[in-house]
Amino acid sequence: MTLDTPEALTNSLHIITIFATPLHIFGIYCIVWETPKNMGTAKWYLFNLHASCILLDWGFTVLSVPFLILPAMGGYPLGILTYWFGVSTLFQIYLIIGLVFAVLNVPDQEMALEFTYKQTPNLPEEIKASPLFILAIDYWVLYPFLFMVILIAGGSLTFITLISRNMNFGARKNNLSENTKRLQRKFMKAIYLQVMLFAMNVLCPISYTVISILTDYYNQMGNNLVFIVAALHGINSTLIMLWAH
């Protein structure tokens, strides 16, 4: 099975979901009922982070399943929101990604498709025959998306810095036991690994997306791998959390 078809993308994401869902459920159990009492301050942060991760995973791997045709900023959804509920592509972009400015400035589709075919002359005919939706033909649509990514990355870095400082301060002030200190060190290792996984599973696909758009590079296998690699973030993140527990 090649990875450059809509079917390959759908099957890959659904397989990931089948393996990820039991892990996610077990992760919720561990956070709510198995988190040590001396780590109670981080319990609900972990729960919110884990719940957000689950919703984001299901949004891309089940609900929407976006089939992108980079470098064109367009494609079409393959998820259950389309085939079961008939939700429009435009509304899914707003619901899953939240690109409000892009949704309000969608170009004329006939003109946008003509531009896309010139931009990507090697686009396969079977993809051209699909219900393509072009979100934008200008690079400006990347700006709010990149801002959102920078905001998430900056927030994660700030959280790590603060929690590391607070733990070190608390350990010195409260004369904690060696067992508690060991748990805290393990917790911090898990947080650091989470950040590394975020960089690998999220920032790398985003980097490919930006480079593809800026250089007009088209490779459908690479486009599909963007979401396949990003979808693995949920499994990896949950495994790290379970290891920490």
Tell me what the mean pLDDT of segment 21-45 comes to.
80
Question: Which of 48-52, 85-89, 214-218 is least confident?
Answer: 48-52
pLDDT tens-digit profile of 90-128?
888 877 666 555 666 788 999 999 999 998 999 999 999
How is residue 85 annotated by DSSP?
A: T
Residue 245: the pLDDT is 60
Give the CA count within 13 Å in the CB-facing half-sphere of 77: 27
Band the pLDDT of 203: cuts 50, 70, 90.
confident
Domain boundary assignment for the chain = 6-244
pTM over 0.85: no
DSSP H helical ranges for the chain: 6-34, 40-58, 80-83, 89-92, 100-103, 109-119, 125-128, 142-174, 178-198, 204-215, 220-244
